[in-house]
Structure 1
């Protein structure tokens, strides 16, 4: 039991509680302790009956059943693996920045869910975080089923194709990719390559609640800003899904 406690406490803060609430609410819904209907995102009770908890529970709850149990476990694996890598990598020492990105991705999932009638938000939310990590680690080699290996930048699209072929789905994955791409663009591409303002900078009160630390991680690097050129000048410039390996010492 102490080994489990040590492992649990070693998981980064936001990843730990995201995974914990996901497992707890999904189990509660699975055994009918509380009707799962109260956990899903439904426009009418949310707007007209003021059931304001639904956008939050829709993020953590996933309907576990004989046909969805394996998919739930895979989602938990991706959540744990890639959220942890981001939190201890690119966002190491900057908990408010990571939390603000999660809030942005979640808000996008909620808005899209209300518009298109999406009751469960786990799939697009997990894929959006995975997509950001993959963009920050494009050249990391990841492994998929049957020993296939490819660069991390292709992993979200492989998952999209895989679910499209196996289950006839793919919509959730596509939404997650779009949300993740928007977050990555606003966090890195827009301010660094296009010279725009940092639109996803957390407000001061979040920095006060989750102050920066001095710890610096080693997973992922931010895209390099474009270097302005002078006239006439030059610029030099079991399965283990998604378990990354770097080539060439990345």
Structure 2
């Protein structure tokens, strides 16, 4: 069995970086090093006081140390990693672009007063969960050892549990909306004969290349094999890379 250090170093780069930043942000908060109000998404401070860092820092705060924080961090370590190692294997730039697109979508949605949330980290994690559930719809999920269901329904089950335990509904709902928009534009619309309008920009590829991550793109236009089964570990169908390179 590998050590925690070996497990950490084996994680794919984007999920590892995001999870690490979230853990550092919460640890620094618990140590009293900063006030979360200074990194929250406050549009008045962004536009009138030019505190543009709030557009980025709000994504890294998942709350104080708690069971909910642990669950969100586990979602990154499990479903984010499975996405990056599965459907996005050797496509780090595409995975990073998905995160960037999701973040931008959440910022736009949160500008609507009724949907505003000071921290969008939970929403971004929920977006990862939603995209994973669509890529691996038949994977079996066991919730707290009580209920077993297909991954396709997992985001809705988690949303229901959050409501039951008194957590806000809006962050989860924003994540589902952003995740579905991404999945529609990159998978459903192209499969229906539409043009891919969410191609990963060249600057993202250059950024990943400069970062030192070696990425070899998969074959363009590789067809989906409907006979290939999905495993219970959440590995999705391969061959969908054409949706980001068409």
RMSD over equivalenced CA pairs, Å: 2.6
Q: Which runs of 5+ in 2 are unaligned?
A: 226-230, 238-246
Which ranges in structure 1 are unaligned for 5 or more consecutive residues? 217-221, 226-243
**Residue deviations 1:199-224 (CA, integer Å, cap 9, x gap):** 221112222333573487xxxxx995
1:146-184, Cα deviation, whole Å (9 max, x unpaired): 331110000001011111122163222121111111111
Distance 1:29 1:84 in 2: 25
> Cα distance 1:81–1:215, how it changes in 2: closer, same or farther (>3 A)?
farther
Q: Which residue in the other structure is 2:232 paired with?
A: 245
Partner of 1:106: 103
- After TM superposition, what 4+ stretches of structure 1 lie above 6 angstroms from structure 2? none
In 2, the alpha carbon distance for the partners of 1:175 and 1:98 equals 19
Q: Is the 8 A contact 1:14 1:99 kept in 2?
A: yes
Distance 1:168 1:36 in 2: 18
2:215 aligns to what? 213
Based on CA coordinates, which of the two structures has the bigger radius of gyration? 1
How do 1:1-12 residues align onto structure 2 when only pairs under 5 Å count? 3-12=3-12
TM-score by length of 1: 0.81
- Return the alpha-carbon distance in structure 2 between the equivalents of residues 246 and 160 of structure 1: 21
Matched, 1:76 2:48: no
Matching of residues 140-151 of structure 1 within 5 Å? 140-151=139-150
Kindly indicate whether the alpha-carbon contact (under 8 Å) linking 1:30 and 1:63 is maintained by their aligned counterparts in 2: no
Q: How many residues align?
A: 222
Matched, 1:63 2:60: no
Quote how far apart the aligned CAs of 1:29 are. 2.0
Matched, 1:94 2:81: no
Contact 1:123 1:172 in 2 (8 A): yes
TM-score (norm 2): 0.82
